Amino acid sequence: MNHRLSHPSSVIIVGGGTAGWMCAAYLAKQWGADTQITLIESSQIGTVGVGEGSTPFLKQFFADLGWQEQDWMPDCDATYKTGIEFANWTNSQRFSQYFHPFFTPLDQQTGELFFDSCQQLRSGRANADVKPEHYFCAAEMVRKQVTPQSTKLPGDIDYAYHFDASKLALSLKSFSKKLGVKHREGKVAEVYTDKGNISGLQMEQGDVLNADLYVDCSGFVGLLMKKALNAPFKSYRETLFNDAAVAVPTQHMSNEAIAPQTRSVGMDNGWMWQIPLTSRIGNGYVYSSDFCSADDAEAALRKALNVDDSVPARHLKMQVGRLEQHWQGNCVAIGLAQGFIEPLEATALMLVQYALYQLIEGVGSGKPLASAQQAYNQEMNRMFDGIRDYIAAHYYLNTRTDTAYWQACRHDMKVPENLQYLLDKWDSGACFETALDHLDSELVYLRPSWYCILAGMGRFNHLDANQKVPVHQSSLAHLDKLTAHYFSTQQRPSTW
Ligand SMILES: Cc1cc2nc3c(=O)[nH]c(=O)nc-3n(C[C@H](O)[C@H](O)[C@H](O)COP(=O)(O)OP(=O)(O)OC[C@H]3O[C@@H](n4cnc5c(N)ncnc54)[C@H](O)[C@@H]3O)c2cc1C
């Protein structure tokens, strides 16, 4: 257990969903010819196949693979994403919607103005609304229907993608195979273990496969880590109530411009995503089965989209939480097998990517296995819990009173410690910058995102949430002026 780490000479990845093929492509690229990589997948079992939004971090992944956007975006029906619009998460007209942008270097000017305006409103020194969409370039891109690529903003722009997840897995598969990854179709029938390690995989066809390192990308079932190695799972169910989703695609209206944003719309017992691809719009209702049946969720989604039964719906169950140990013995779990928070901020593939970077770093560190694993597990837990805290804030800050679900999110949630700390500081009028600094080493979402959600959802306790107030026009004018030079106002689709 305490030997020093070096590249494994053989790796078996169990699972050919997006996580499995991301692992195959990245490990093949990093470890190259020194490591024989085999990926096993079972078409009988299939993949989750949803997961159509990303964070800006994914840009780095494609750059690491040496992919240009034109190499993969057209094949995956991909579009650009500059942020997420949230609507119907509150009870008030005044805070009925807001935008959570990805940030660009230009935002440094308007961002400070935004933080300062939030502070003024919070302390009662001002009354005009402070909305993130009036301060950040990403929102201006949505308003003007321009893509990050068609602007001439200085510096590196943070933007993300929407894509067809199944098509992305196929692109990664063909890339991985070109790098020498072996593909084995078939079902793993039994997993053999020996003193906390995997010692072999019995295939349904009868043969047994062995490797130095096993990567569990088998999805929610967690075939290697959860089932065979009995790795403990930490559920987030007391904090995040949603455990199911139903998806129904729709077509774009003709001549409809593709807005470079995801929409997240509050429903009676959860929320609906709307993700524009070039070929269709991906829609889904994420809900809690404690409050809503699958049939009712499907009916509510169809009604919201005005879609009849001729378009089939896809129902999915979600297991919300994470493993306590993500890498133990000779096995590492990545993707849904490792954990899942929920799709609200589209963070799952970001976690896959982050897990891969940490794994490469851990193996390359030359440390003893036990200490590399300890550092890896600690960091992955920090990432998962940090994302959970920010996701939980969306539910806890809701002000809806119309259904038992929304009231339970406010009253029955086990509020994560760091979230409670930040809210206490915000509500009490204490210096919020100091509070953020205090948690700096633990937070995953940083200063702008916390201001966006708190201001966007109207966490200004002394304000009348239904009072009509003027919009802070000067901020919008400032943003307009700032970006005018860089944006073309021509209508363009938000594809590559
Ligand atoms: C409703 C919903 C919405 C989502 N939205 C987003 C989003 O917007 N953005 C985002 O980043 N993520 C999102 N996700 C998460 C995303 O879908 C997953 O992270 C991603 O698809 C990776 O899944 P996976 O590869 O880990 O698992 P899966 O896709 O489930 O793949 C599991 C693989 O394991 C194989 N397998 C299992 N058992 C065996 C066996 N015994 N033998 C052989 N093979 C086996 C299966 O055949 C399959 O190939 C969403 C998830 C859900 C449920």
- Per the CB < 8 A criterion, the answer to whether 12 and 211 are in contact is yes
Q: Quote the CA–CA distance of 293 and 286 in Å, as a whole number.
A: 12
Atom from ligand 1 closest to the CA of residue 352: 19
Atom from ligand 1 closest to the CA of residue 223: 38
Q: What is the pTM of this model?
A: 0.94
Share above pLDDT 90 across residues of the chain, in percent, rounded to a whole number: 76
Cα–Cα separations (whole angstroms), residue 449 to 99, 149, 217, 478: 10, 23, 30, 21
Mention every residue, 6+ apart, whose C-beta is less than 8 A from residue 2: 368, 369, 370
Mention every residue, 6+ apart, whose C-beta is less than 8 A from residue 330: 197, 198, 212, 213, 214
Return the pLDDT at 469: 61
Pick the more confident residue, 5 or 306: 306
Is 345 touching ligand 1 by the criterion CB < 6 Å?
no
Q: In the numeric block, which tokens belong to residue 283?
A: 């829609």
Return the pLDDT at 492: 36
Q: Tell me how far the alpha carbon of residue 206 lies from the centroid of ligand 1, in angstroms.
A: 26
Of 61, 218, 242, the one to substitute when testing ligand 1's pocket (max ligand atoms within 8 A of C-beta) is 218
Return the pLDDT at 461: 77
Return the pLDDT at 473: 60
Is 221 touching ligand 1 by the criterion CB < 6 Å?
yes
Return the pLDDT at 466: 63
Is 339 touching ligand 1 by the criterion CB < 6 Å?
no
Would residue 481 show up in a list of annotated catalytic residues for this protein? no
Q: Tell me how far the alpha carbon of residue 47 lies from the centroid of ligand 1, in angstroms.
A: 5
Q: Is the pLDDT at 496 greater than 60, yes or no?
A: no
- Per the CB < 8 A criterion, the answer to whether 344 and 284 are in contact is no
Instruction: Give ∠ CA 489-494-496 in degrees, rounded to 5.
Output: 115
Q: Is the pLDDT at 495 greater than 50, yes or no?
A: no
Q: Quote the CA–CA distance of 59 and 68 in Å, as a whole number.
A: 10
Is 51 touching ligand 1 by the criterion CB < 6 Å?
yes
What is the sign, positive or negative, of the torsion defined by CA atoms of 195, 197, 203, 208? negative
Return the pLDDT at 490: 42
Q: Quote the CA–CA distance of 486 and 103 in Å, as a whole number.
A: 15
- Per the CB < 8 A criterion, the answer to whether 47 and 18 are in contact is yes
Other beta carbons less than 10 A from residue 435's beta carbon: 18
**Count helices and strands in the chain by DSSP H and E runs:** 14, 21
Q: In the numeric block, which tokens belong to residue 105?
A: 């270097």
- Per the CB < 8 A criterion, the answer to whether 395 and 320 are in contact is no
CATH number of 10-52+164-235+320-382: 3.50.50.60
Cα–Cα separations (whole angstroms), residue 181 to 21, 34, 232, 275, 330: 10, 12, 31, 32, 20
| The amino acid at 265 | V
- Per the CB < 8 A criterion, the answer to whether 10 and 36 are in contact is yes
pLDDT digits (tens, 9 = 90+) for 74-92: 999 999 999 999 999 999 8
Atom from ligand 1 closest to the CA of residue 218: 34
Return the pLDDT at 110: 85
Is 209 touching ligand 1 by the criterion CB < 6 Å?
no
Of the listed 59, 81, 173, 226, which one is catalytic? 81
> Given the DSSP bridges, would you call strands 83-87 and 97-101 parallel, antiparallel or unpaired?
antiparallel
Is 203 touching ligand 1 by the criterion CB < 6 Å?
no
Q: Quote the CA–CA distance of 491 and 279 in Å, as a whole number.
A: 19
Of 261, 336, 352, the one to substitute when testing ligand 1's pocket (max ligand atoms within 8 A of C-beta) is 336
Is 264 touching ligand 1 by the criterion CB < 6 Å?
no
Is 270 touching ligand 1 by the criterion CB < 6 Å?
no
Atom from ligand 1 closest to the CA of residue 47: 29
Return the pLDDT at 493: 35
pLDDT digits (tens, 9 = 90+) for 190-227: 999 999 999 999 999 999 999 999 999 999 999 999 99
Tell me the pLDDT of the chain averaged across its residues.
Answer: 91
Q: Is the pLDDT at 2 greater than 60, yes or no?
A: no
pLDDT digits (tens, 9 = 90+) for 342-386: 999 999 999 999 999 999 999 999 899 999 999 999 999 999 999
Name the phi and psi angles at 408, rounded to 5.
-65, -40
Per-residue exposure over 193-222, b if at least 16 CB sit within 10 Å of its own CB, e if not? eeeeebebbebeeeeebebebbbbbbbeeb
DSSP state of 133: G
Q: Tell me how far the alpha carbon of residue 223 lies from the centroid of ligand 1, in angstroms.
A: 13
pLDDT digits (tens, 9 = 90+) for 107-133: 888 899 899 989 988 888 777 778 899
Mean pLDDT of 471-476: 62
- Beta-bridged to residue 84, according to DSSP, are 100, 262
pLDDT digits (tens, 9 = 90+) for 167-187: 999 999 999 999 999 999 999
pLDDT digits (tens, 9 = 90+) for 245-302: 999 999 988 777 888 999 999 999 999 999 999 999 999 999 999 999 999 999 999 9
Q: Which of 112, 89, 133 is nearest to 457 (CA)?
A: 89
Q: Tell me how far the alpha carbon of residue 357 lies from the centroid of ligand 1, in angstroms.
A: 19
Atom from ligand 1 closest to the CA of residue 262: 8
Mean pLDDT of 137-151: 84
Q: Tell me how far the alpha carbon of residue 336 lies from the centroid of ligand 1, in angstroms.
A: 6
Is 23 touching ligand 1 by the criterion CB < 6 Å?
no
Cite the DSSP H helix spans in 205-331.
294-305
Mean pLDDT of 449-478: 77
Return the pLDDT at 465: 61
Q: In the numeric block, which tokens belong to residue 390?
A: 């920010």
Q: Which residue ranges make up each domain of the chain?
A: 10-52+164-235+320-382
pLDDT digits (tens, 9 = 90+) for 405-459: 999 999 999 999 999 999 999 999 999 999 999 999 999 999 999 999 999 999 9
10 Å CB burial of residue 2 (0-12, 13-18, 19+) is exposed
